[in-house]
Each structure stands twice: as structure tokens, then as C-alpha cells.
Structure 1
Amino acid sequence: MPAGDLELVKLTKHYGETVAVDGIDLRVPSGTYCCLLGPSGCGKSSTLRMIAGHENASDGDIILSSTNITALPPAARGTAMMFQSYALFPHLNIRDNVAFSLKMKGMSKPERYAKADQMLALVDMLARAERLPSQLSGGQQQRAALARALITNPKILLLDEPLSALDPFLRSRMRAELKRFQKELGISFIHVTHSQEEAMALADTIVVMSNARIEQAGTPREIFNAPRTEFVARFMGGHNIIADGDKKIAVRADKVRLEKLNGSKPLHQAVVNGIEYQGTIVSIGLASEQHGELSAALPEAEFYANPLSAGDVVSVSWTPADAHELAG
């Protein structure tokens, strides 16, 4: 196994009678930005904490760079964890926060401060090295926490909902910075999130989890364009789930075509029950007797060239190439 590769083998976590992670298998090549994505309670945070060593695995193995680290303490694993709350020491300035783990290892003050300043420069925080955490914004605290995690030179950085406390504008900015840091460092980032948008923007590999298992793992394009199951299609959003004979298919909302009825009976028809202007697209909500709730996403110019209104009866169509069959 190449250095930095991570492999989970039948990894399992029980809390009493509750199965939090149910025998999952996953391989994350070194240098990958991997997002564990799913709703609350799906097992993604338990998986991250087992990789970090903050939770003991009930069964299975965690292998990093060909070494089985399942039973090793957190400090001996070659991983570093960045917590959702940042967990900065409030009484220490930022330089001392970043250097703290090196102090615990007995490194001299000049040496650990030099390394801390190197990390702070990487995250553009050197000018604030003397400040206390309370004197920093949320985004600045996050950068400091990132520098503190990276100073141990980990093979893998683990991030637990790192953007959830930030406002939308800063969240978008920090997404770009996290991706840049990951590419510059060349190590794997494993990032837990419940945000589809966040995972799509950041990940090389998205791992969609549900009910303690992995539903699908793949690139963002694979996950969005070819969801394997109904759960993945619904959770990622932007898809219609349609019964087509004896099979179930997913059709992306932007691939649905609509036309006002001209008297003929179409194969699929629906009533417009909602219209949302979203800038570059207009989202159309539809009610179909055959298929229940559907949606279409039309380019702005196309919609306003032939506008629809609530109550309009329309034909609904798509090309066979745009219908993706789901697993049973």
C-alpha cells in the first residue's frame, strides 16, 4: 500500500445495541480530498472518530500506509483531527495554541515557535500570532485550528463539520482555502459534512452514507449524474424518481422538458404547482397523478420565452439517455 493510503476493512461500531457503523469497506488513496456525506445519525462522524482513535472500533481494521492503526492511540496514528468547535485553548495566544503539541513532545521553545510560525504563515495568520482566540473572527479561529492540526505533519487530516459555524459567505471562501491547502500539502483530507453543496465543491471522492452503511462512493460527477440508489438520488437533490414499468429511474430536473398541452394526450403529464426564480434557472414544481411530485429546472431565457403559470397542464418528457436506472 503506498504511503498515506487509508483502507477501512469491515469497520464496525456499536453503541450498546445500536449499530452506528455497519462493516464498511473504503479505500482512500493518498492525496485525496474525501467527503463523508449523509444525514445526521448515518455513521459518518463515528467513522471519522474511529480513524482518529477517539472512538474504539467494535470490529474491523483501519490501515494507514500498510500499518494497522486500529488499536494505536491517537498520537501514534499519523492522523490529525480538526474539531467542529476548533477547541483552541482560550488562555493561550495563537502561536502557543499551534505549538502546543510540540511542547508536549519536549521540543524547545525556539524550535516549536519556528515551526508554529511556518504553519501560521501557510494559513495567512502569522500577523495574528500574539492574539488570543477571543480576539479572532470565526474564520481566523478556523485557520488557527487548521495550523495546529497540520503542525504534527500528519499523513491524513480529519475534519469534523469544519464549516458549519461560519456564515454562508465565509463558508464559501473557506471551502476554496481548504481545497488549496490540501493540494499544496499533498495529503489526504477526510471531511465530514451533511451539506451536498460542500461535498460537491470540495471532494475528489464523495462517500454517501445512510443507516450506518456506505450507499455509494465516487467522484462528485459520478454521484450526481449516476446515483446508484433512490436514497442517493433523493439526498443529492435535483433528481426526479420515476417508476418506469418494472424499474425505477432517476431523471435530473434540468433534463426534464415541459410543453403546454395542445390537445393530444402525452405519455406523461403534470400540473404546475410552483415556480421559483433562482437567477440562471427557474425551478418548476409539478404534480403528476402518475408519478407524484416532480420538478424541472429551466434556463431563465427559455422559461421567459414561453412562461408557465401555476395551474398550467404540461407534458413532461426526457430523452432515454437522460434516464438513469436505479438499483432495486
Structure 2
Amino acid sequence: MSLAAPASTGTAAPARPPRRRGGSGRHRAWIPLLFISPWLVGFLVFMAYPVVYTGYLSLTDYDVINDPTFLGLDNYRELVSDEKVMLALRNTFVYTLMSVPAQLVFSLVLALLLQRAGRAAGFFRTAFFLPKMTPPVAVGVLLLMLLNGQSGLLNELLGWFGINGPNWTTDPDWVKPGLVVTSLWTVGSSVIILLAALQQVPDELLDAARVDGASWWRRLWHVVLPIISPTIYFIVVVDTIASLQSFTEAYTAFFGAGNTTYSNDAALFYAIYLFQQAFEFLHMGYASAMAVLLFAIVMVVTAVQVMLSRRYVHYTGGAR
């Protein structure tokens, strides 16, 4: 009797799934964290921990030498009654309201001119950015040389046009405008960023506006500025935060090396008074409370700018 092969049922045995390599998905999820771990460690050690510890010190009396003594909210109550805190805040806000628009307008004008530079654009980009590399301490010394009321270069230039220049460094009414003029020295990075944004404006839109008879100013106001508004918004936020923390140039010019020749109160910014409390008077707990207040102010101002951006900043494609 012959053995016949069993008839095929038409169904094949299920294929075994391929064996995964490299471990399970849960183990692979740790791989990205491994790559960003240096940043995470740096953030926790140099950012998160100092912020939390500053918040703790703001509730204490600490002079760096002795152990902190818990005070509760006493430092914050003293902030409200400290006249110099109010003076420093007022100086800082006035300077910010003056410097941010001035830097933005000056940067935009330079970027528009640089857009027309042609082959020389590379040279001028470098020339505009190089002052940004100047150490802030040197800029503070340069301020005294350029804005000296008697022999400063700026007043000499104004004298050529019959204008009697003010005492930039001694007249309290002109100290902050002088600092604003000095801040224009380092707008190179904003110029480069705005230039990159201007180069992304579609030529078709500008040609269509030109065909419709729009002047250069109307093309700038109604076409160019709305398109580059996200870049303008970014620069305004960054410059505002930097202005609220202004320190080096004003401190070098008006407070460094026991300087008593020039007006100090008009240049007393919040960061300078914070530095004095922390490292000159060793009131580290009080200075920590000032730092917490400055952090809160920056957060509130930035939040207001974010809310305003929803109305005035236009993103391509209708994204908001």
C-alpha cells in the first residue's frame, strides 16, 4: 500500500515575526536622552539650581560669610520701601523704552541699506558685526571718550553744524540718551538678522505693489514690515530683556573704580543696584529678592509682548 501525501488545505502556516534588534522600544527611548544629557546636566546645575537657590536666599539674611538666617518676606517688604529700588526701576524702564525702539529703527535702516550694497554686502556685514565683538567694558570707556561734554568726538561733530552739544555724562537729563547712543554701537547682530529676513521677502509681492503704484514707503509699510514682523518681534523681545538687565557699560562709565566725577543717580540701573547690594554691601539675601523681582518683571513684560504679538505679528501661511 502506498502512502499518499496529505492534501493541501490551501492555508500556509503563519510566518514568524522578524526578531527585533537593538532592544525594546522602551529601552530605545533612553537613547535621545543620552544625547541631550550634557545639556540637561548643564541646565540643572547652572540654571535650575541657581534659580531655586536664589529664591531660597531671598527669604533669608545672608552675608556670604555667615550661614543664612530665615526672615520670611522681610526682604520683599524692604524692597517696597527702598527709594533706590524705585529709582533704579524707573531708570531701567526709561532706558528700555528709549533704547529698544532706537536700536530696532537703526538696525532696520542699516539692513535696508545693506540690502542694496550688492557685491560689497559681505564687507559691510562684517563691518557692522565687528563692534558686537567689542568687550562691554571697552564700550563703557569709549562712552566717556566720545560723549565728553568738552572734548568728546560727538560734540565736536555737532559743532561742525553749529549745534552746541549737551553734557552727556554730567547732565542727568542726558545721561540715559547718551547710553542709548552708545548702545547703537552693538546692533550688528540685529542688522544681520533683519537682513536675512528682508532677503526672504518674495519679489512677486513687491513687483505687484509696484505695478499698483505703491511708493517705496507704502511697499515698506504694507508689504515688507508685515512679512518680517516675526523677526522684528524676536528682536524686540531679546532687546527688551537685555535692556532690563543693562549693567556693564553704565557701571564702567559711571560707577567703576570709585568714579565720583560723573552723575551716578541717572545711570543707576536695577542690575547695578543689585550688584552693589550683593557684592559691595554683602546683602546677598536682599540682592536675591531683587533678582526674583527682576525675574518676575521680565516674565510679565515678555508675556505682554507675547499677547500683543497675536495681533501685530503676521506669520506666512496664516499660522499664529
What TM-score do you get using the length of structure 2 for normalisation? 0.23
Structure with the higher fraction of residues in strand conformation: 1
Q: Compare relative contact order (CA 8 Å, sep 6+) and give the higher one, 1 or 2.
A: 2
What TM-score do you get using the length of structure 1 for normalisation? 0.23
